[in-house]
Each structure stands twice: as structure tokens, then as C-alpha cells.
Structure 1
């Protein structure tokens, strides 16, 4: 998440005692996150981060790793985060196998990485991110801006058909591993294998960059797709969401 936070103007990360704050700064709660990671995490740090986000007028979520302290639910409820969602963290131990045996299908749209020759696609890619997450246009503009595309360790992908952006995703490259983030397909382009194809392209490029394992957080919509690709659940986190 640090790669995403620092790839957006005004984004940042803070590390406390068993608690990490990641701020991308967009008007979508899932982009501003308090992670409670360890059994001895300090509530005071989490409270301070919640105050900081509230003071900035930013919506946020709390993500609770298995084994986190019992106070997390109380803090979330006091901050108006009344909904809970299961969030599987999934891994693939041998992504090379997928890239060799189940790469992008020949019948899906072309997939491009946004580099210097494709920056004109950024507005359409940002729109596809928003529509794929069923949010208003403009919400994700900063997430896939020029700064993110040029961020070391980050690559943004889009599948294209006749000038339309039909699916999108982000590769997060860290030592020895590749992260799959933000796979999103606008409703009118779903059920064509596009999210799977973008995921496979991200994994293939990640392996070429030295990854020997892959990781992602699975939404309910994507869980079955990732499971069929060979990802397995490593941990089940709890997300505390507004509402």
C-alpha cells in the first residue's frame, strides 16, 4: 500500500506501534486505511490516525488482521464504521505456472501497460476504475495519474477494444513478489474473461521482474476468479466500513 499512497499527490504512510496508516486521499473510504496488524497494536496510535483522517475530512476504513486486539471493533463502531466485511488475502506460490499454462486468452481485448506512449489513455483508465467499482466518474482520477504511472514498482494496465478501456489493473512489484491490485471491469464489459486476462498479464510481467510469489486482496466479485486461477487464501481479514 505504500507504493499506492506515495504514487498520489498528497498521499502518505505512517507507521505506528502495530498500526499503519495509508492515505491515498481520494473521496473513497477504501483508499484511506488504518491497518491494525499485531496483537499488541496500540489503540492510541489508531485513535490518533482516525482523528487525523476525520480532521482532513477523508472517509476511511479500518482493516483488522487476524489476531488483532479486541478493541478494534469498538474503535470502528465509535467512528461510524458499522459494517463488517470478510476480506481474503490470497497468495499464489508459483505464479510462473500460471503465466505458462493460463496466460491471456487469444480472444480477449489487447492489454497494454501505460507508459510514455500510452499516457493519453489515463482519463479513460481512471473512468474505467470508477465504473468498474460502481463509483462516480472522477473518484479515481488521482490514483491513475501520471505520478502513479511513473512511480517505481508500479505499473498500470488497461485492456482495450476499439478505443474503449474495457478492464484495468495495477501491478505492485516488491522484492521477490508481485501484487495484483484494483482489477476492475465496467459492467458492460463483464463476463468476457477480461479481469482474468489483465491479472495474468500482471503476473507474467511480475515474474519477468523477479517475482516468485503473488499476492492480492480479493473482493467478493473476484474471489472465485482468483481461486480458479490458483490463488489460495492465506489470511482472512475483517474490514470495518462506513454505514
Structure 2
């Protein structure tokens, strides 16, 4: 078995997460600011888990938290503060909590080294998987993603704009919005970001009525194929409790945990 360097993998997962957020910054639907050593990103969707604060430099935790609170108040957006795995994570977590942003969850950071020929995506009857190319397809993806995560439909207009901006030039080659349709209906979604040699996997979900049919396997097969064909050598993600067993099955390895803080009790 290939040696797994957990510290190196954690650093790679953290770097990919930051690089993905910086890539989202280029989208027409997003607004961002970097000040006081913290990177702030508003996607325009009023869901805490879809707006991000991430420390990028050492500094005063209270001042950074105040900067985040001010920025997202001006955006009228709830948000989450993400702390990457590392030796300073617990210290930063304490500072942020004392500044009024309680810890809400700690999703595992996971990484998979891609190997040629692994996880090939076989055809399957009754369904197909497509990559969104138009704003209309992106809007359908957004509606399905919200349903998969149990988010309220009134967020659709903003989230559809966020998704549609990934189909625009010149950034469209840096994203893959994947929709799995089954028996003529959207059944599962995923977003692959391509900021570098390690891809980031986000918003992976299967709609409730289509769970336990093996569709998550099919979609993950195709998502990993897309990453390989884009020239990536690894994929990183932050796992939900529901997705964790599937990722482990495919060989993703846990390499630490993100600590997610938010002033909003419905975060995570």
C-alpha cells in the first residue's frame, strides 16, 4: 500500500480549499474582500455554508472576526468561518469563539490520489450524467442541489446565478457542474473546481427519493473521471456524515478536520 503522508495531504486539502474559494472570487455572482489577514467571500446565496471567511495570514483573531462580521453584515449574508487542519487550528478556533463565532461542526478533510484506470465510469441503464454548459442547465443543477441538501427553495434565484456564472467565459473550463439524471429526472449533483493539480469536490448530493440506488457511486465515478481528464492528480473535499462512507469506499483518506465557526446556529 502506498505510504500516506497525512500532514502533506492535510496541507494539500487546505491549499485546494483556499484556491477554490479564490477561483470562486472570479465569478460574476460573487463578491470578495481580503483584509486584516482574512479572505472573505460572498456567493450571494443567503445560506451560512455558502459564504466563507478564511484566515490567510497570522494576526489578531478578534480583529479578523470583526472584519468578517462587518463585511457579511454589509452583504446581508450569513456566513461560516473555516479553519484548515494544522498545528494552529485549535488556537485560532479559541480566538474566533471568544470573538463571538461559536464552533458549529468539524467536517473531515479528505484526499484521494488519482490513478489512471481506477474508478472507471461504466454506463448504466435508466440514467445519464451531463456537464452543465448553459445557464438553464446550471439553474436546473442548482434546484436539484438545494433539494439534495434540504435547503429552502427561496434560495434558488441566487444559487442559480452562482451556478450559472460557472458556465460563463473565460472561467467555464475551471469548473464542472455535473447532473445525474435518472428515469428522466435530476437525481444527483456535484461541483468540481479545477484550481490546479488537485481538484476540489463540493456540493455532492443525491436527492432523497433517489438514495440507496447506487447513484452516488455512478456520479462519483464520473466526477473522478472528469478530474483525471482535466489533468488533476488528486481530489480533495470536506466530507459530510452522509458522504463519508462513500468517499472512504473510493479510497479517500481522512487527513485532519476543518473547524467551522459561525454566529448563525443553523450553520452546518
TM over 0.5: yes
> More helix per residue: 1 or 2?
2
Structure 1 pair 74/114, CA: closer, same or farther in 2 (3 Å)? same
Are the structure 2 counterparts of residues 82 and 173 from structure 1 closer, same or farther at C-alpha, using a change threshold of 3 Å? Answer: same
Q: Is the alpha carbon distance of 1:41 and 1:89 closer, same or farther for their aligned partners in structure 2, counting shifts above 3 Å?
A: farther
Give the TM-score taking structure 2 as reference length: 0.78
- Give yes or no for the alignment of 1:172 onto 2:193: yes
The answer as to whether partners of 1:96 and 1:212 remain within 8 angstroms in 2 is no
Deviation at 1:232, TM superposition (A): 0.5
Post-superposition CA distance 1:19-50 (Å, at most 9, x none): 32222121100111111356x34322332122
TM (norm. structure 1) is 0.85
Q: Tell me the distance in 2 between the aligned counterparts of 1:69 and 1:214.
A: 25
Matches within 5 A, 1:62-81: 62-65=81-84, 66=86, 67-68=88-89, 70=91, 72-76=93-97, 78-79=99-100, 81=101
Whole-angstrom CA distance in 2 between matches of 1:99 and 1:130: 27
**Distance of aligned partners of 1:64 and 1:94 in 2 relative to their CA distance in 1, 3 Å threshold:** same
With over 3 angstroms needed to count, the CA separation of the structure-2 counterparts of 1:226 and 1:234, relative to structure 1, is same
Q: Please state whether the residue corresponding to 2:116 is helix, strand or coil.
A: helix
Q: 2:230 aligned with 1:209, yes or no?
A: yes
Match of 1:237 in 2: 258
> Relative to structure 1, is the Cα distance of residues 227 and 129 closer, same or farther in structure 2, using a 3 angstrom cutoff?
same
Look up the SS of the partner of 1:49 in the other structure.
helix
SS at match of 2:139: helix
**CA-atom RMSD in angstroms:** 2.4
User: Structure 1 residue 107: deviation in Å?
Assistant: 4.7
Q: How far did residue 113 of structure 1 move? A: 0.7
Q: Which of residues 139, 142, 152 is equivalent to 1:136? A: 152
In the alignment, the residues of structure 1 paired with residue 28 and residue 212 of structure 2 have an alpha-carbon distance, to the nearest angstrom, of 31
1:52 aligned partner = 71
Report if aligned partners of 2:114, 2:228 keep a CA contact under 8 Å in 1. no
Given that residues 157 and 168 in structure 1 are in contact (C-alpha distance below 8 angstroms), is that contact kept between their aligned partners in structure 2?
A: yes
- 1:135, CA displacement in angstroms? 0.7
Inter-partner Cα distance in structure 1 for 2:243 and 2:97: 26
Indicate the residue corresponding to 1:112 in structure 2: 130
Matches within 5 A, 1:14-33: 14-16=33-35, 18-33=37-52
Structure 1: gaps spanning 5 or more residues: none
